[in-house]
Amino acid sequence: MKRHLTLLICMMFLCQWMHAEDGSLLWLRQKGTAATSITSNKTTQTTSIAVNELKNAWKGLPVSLIIKKNKSLCKEGFMIEKKDGNIIVSSPTDKGILYGAYHLLRLQASNPDFKTTLPIIENPTYSLRLLNHWDNLDGTIERGYAGQSLWQWDELPETLSPRYETYARANASIGINGTVLNNVNASPQILSGPYLQKVKALADLFRPYGIRVYLSANFASPMVLGQLDTADPLNKQVIRWWKNKVKEIYQLIPDFGGFLVKANSEGQPGPCDFGRTHAEGANMLADALKPYKGIVMWRAFVYSPNDADRAKQAYQEFKPLDGMFRDNVIIQTKNGPVDFQPREPYSPLFTAIEHTDQMVELQVTQEYLGHSNHIAYLAPMWKEFFEFVPATTLKAIAGVANIGTDINWCGHPFAQSNWYAFGRLAWNPSLTSEEIADEWLKQTFSSKEEFLSPAKQIMLQSHEAVVDYMMPMGLHHLFAWGHHYGPEPWCAIPGARPDWMPSYYHKADAQGIGFDRSSKGSNAVAQYPTALAEKYNQLDTCPEEYILWFHHVAWNHPMKNGQSLWNNLCRHYDRGVQQVRLFQKLWDQTEKYVDEERFYEIQSSLKTQMRDAIWWKDACLLYFQTFSKMPFPTDMERPIHRLDDLKKVNLGISNYECPDEELLNRNR
Ligand code: BDP
């Protein structure tokens, strides 16, 4: 009897453990009830996946999947309609069928009335919707906050982790159709024979999910792997080396997507090392890829250490090259002109380049937004970008992934929403942030209004809150040296690049604060189309959210609300902190509707976010006060720290003691 009881208790524990909510299911949680008829008119690996997904999760009418031509659909588009008591999902391709099946499941989970909205026609806005993994071959991830790299290079190609398939499913479910497997700071080894075998194994696995594989290429690969004494893009041997390499890749991976290249940026090799231009470098690779329909995504993230205003440099380097690139080259530019800051104006390259295909690089991983500790739902930030850069001017879209080996994939349960939102916006940038949040919450947590309302409020206000407590009003790059997590506006490392120091960006002095990029300053405003340039150029017409990006503003300058700049700055920081307090209360309201594990995990990470928000506010305001010499508004929450103490904070990931200047400048 006693033994039976012990067994029963053990089994109960085991069941509980098995059902413990660890976030690993992402937004793919639906389960079907009855065996509904799901048929398809053709069978491919891809349609079989679609059939299985529906068999496992669909609860409604019989579904027929039909591959057929339809003039209103592009290759990956699909139509969902109701006919004679059936749901028909049709598309010209099996990929479109798969997307249609996932869409049907999404509708089932997020819109109980969706049948009244049929027929639905969906075509993706961008034909290339890519994740960029900044994963290194040693398993680490540059700016990754969710564990190690998913790719188990040591085990590949023989062993395939089951997570690869879940990764592919998750991507396909939101329409992502390409993945760059390795870091833009690329090891040449990725192009070596043994590694290409490993890449092939992943490509084979991802193919039925409609996902193509791409690689980041190190421009010096012919020297490192091919023992050539140059990587000059005009050198015949170099050209031959790349042609052979590309041929080797396509023999293994016939649908290989192409290369992503970070060249002559932050110490990476590139054509400029050999007196050639970015266009000459990109074109040489493009020519090698062309016979196989491969592409080159050439990054415009360049800035040299000496030049005046870092925000101007990508434009200065790439605008004169417009029109000189082959038609299978796409210039890949970050959304803002500096570097994924909490808020930046859009990069003026997007409206300046006219004769070359362009794509935007967004950062899903929260390098500058609290890593995986803070809730920062990024759809609102990305939507801001699309207000300035019409979706149709872009050929493709890429997102720097936030995915790692953590059981919940992204570190923070809410960070999954950024992976999700990236995919959904890449498919359709006109979806609203709220629609995407709503879909994601319903699929990931619960459809109960009592849950949705507070959770959605947190999500929709979260990005602005982070901007407020970190870098409001156009401030940028106030981050601590090395880790890009905490504040260090005072940071000054002797001998380090000036454009890696916060003071280069905030320029706080006795008069005021902010970077003068007006026509009286660096004149970065001139890189924008005339109407915008004029608007940004004048202090009184420049939007307040960018004011310190474009102007050096006097501390006592009266802002639109009649109060001084200093008071406004204080109010923003304070508002950020108050918002996180509000998020804590809102999250507590959801307790009844969320599983214990995720409820407490998020509750606890909000405590960290609260602590960090106060840290940011106190550090920035106490430091800037040493210049403004103005008092805090009386109704603002007082700092709880002393500046001297904050200056001593060291998260143990900085390079303060690094004596080697080159290393110092590379590890930033
Ligand atoms: C910066 C990151 C650095 C990246 C670089 C890039 O700090 O790790 O290598 O961007 O995008 O934001 O190349």
Atom of ligand 1 nearest to the CA of 268: 13
HEC string of 423-454 equals: HHHHHCCCCCHHHHHHHHHHHHCCCCHHHHHH
Give the nearest ligand 1 atom to 184 CA.
13
In sequence order, the β-bridge partners of residue 40 are 65
Helix (H, G, I), strand (E, B), or coil: what is residue 96?
helix
What is the model's pLDDT at position 19? 58
Catalytic residue status for 266: yes
Tell me: the pLDDT tens digits for 120-130? 999 999 999 99
CB 130 within 8 A of CB 117: no
User: Could you count the other beta carbons within 10 Å of the beta carbon of residue 197?
Assistant: 13
CA separation for the pair 542, 18 (Å, rounded): 55
Q: Measured from the CB, is residue 668 less than 6 Å from ligand 1?
A: no
- Predicted confidence at residue 4, as pLDDT, reads 58
Pick the catalytic residue from 367, 468, 499, 612.
Answer: 367
The C-alpha atoms of residue 209 and residue 211 are separated, in whole angstroms, by: 6
Does 21 participate in catalysis according to the annotation? Answer: no
The token duo for 545 is 């959210």
pLDDT confidence of residue 498: 87
Residues 55, 100: contact at Cβ < 8 Å? no
In short, whether 343's Cβ falls inside 6 Å of ligand 1 is: no
Closest CA to 485 of 370, 621, 365: 370
- In this predicted structure, what is the pLDDT of residue 657? 37
Amino acid identity for residue 318 in this structure: F
Which atom of ligand 1 lies at the shortest distance from residue 265's CA?
13
* pLDDT attached to residue 33: 72
**Whether residue 340 has its Cβ less than 6 Å from ligand 1:** yes
Catalytic residue among 142, 165, 204, 266: 266
Residues 6 or more apart in contact with residue 544 via CB below 8 angstroms: 473, 559, 560, 568
Q: Is the CB of 142 under 6 A from ligand 1?
A: yes
Is any atom of ligand 1 closer than 6 Å to the C-beta of 184?
A: yes
Look at phi and psi of residue 227 and say left if phi exceeds 0, alpha if psi is from -120 to 50, else beta: left
Say what the pLDDT of residue 549 is.
Answer: 98
Portion of the chain with pLDDT greater than 70, in percent? 94
Determine whether the shortest distance from the Cβ of 597 to ligand 1 is under 6 A. Answer: no
Instruction: Tell me the per-residue pLDDT of 419-436, one tens digit each, with 9 for 90 and over.
Output: 999 999 999 999 999 999
Please return the burial class of 407, using the count of CB atoms within 10 Å of its CB with bins 0-12, 13-18 and 19+.
exposed
Q: Could you report the average pLDDT of every consecutive run of 10 residues in the chain (668 residues)?
A: 52 52 97 86 98 95 97 98 97 98 97 94 98 98 98 98 98 98 98 98 98 98 98 98 98 98 97 98 98 98 84 96 98 98 98 98 98 98 96 95 98 98 98 98 98 98 98 97 92 88 97 98 98 98 98 98 98 98 98 97 98 98 98 97 93 43 38
Residue 38, H or E segment: strand 38-40
| Shortest-distance Cα residue to atom 1 of ligand 1 | 339
Q: Is 367 an active-site residue?
A: yes
631 class by beta-carbon count within 10 Å (0-12 exposed, 13-18 middle, 19+ buried):
exposed
pLDDT of residue 391: 87
- What was the pLDDT predicted at 305? 73
pLDDT value, residue 392: 86
216, β-bridge pairs: 260
**The predicted structure's pLDDT at residue 16:** 47
Ligand 1 atom closest to the CA of 266, numbered from 1: 13
Give pLDDT, residue 652.
57
Q: Which of 136, 140, 141, 142 to mutate to test the pocket of ligand 1 (most atoms within 8 A of CB)?
A: 142
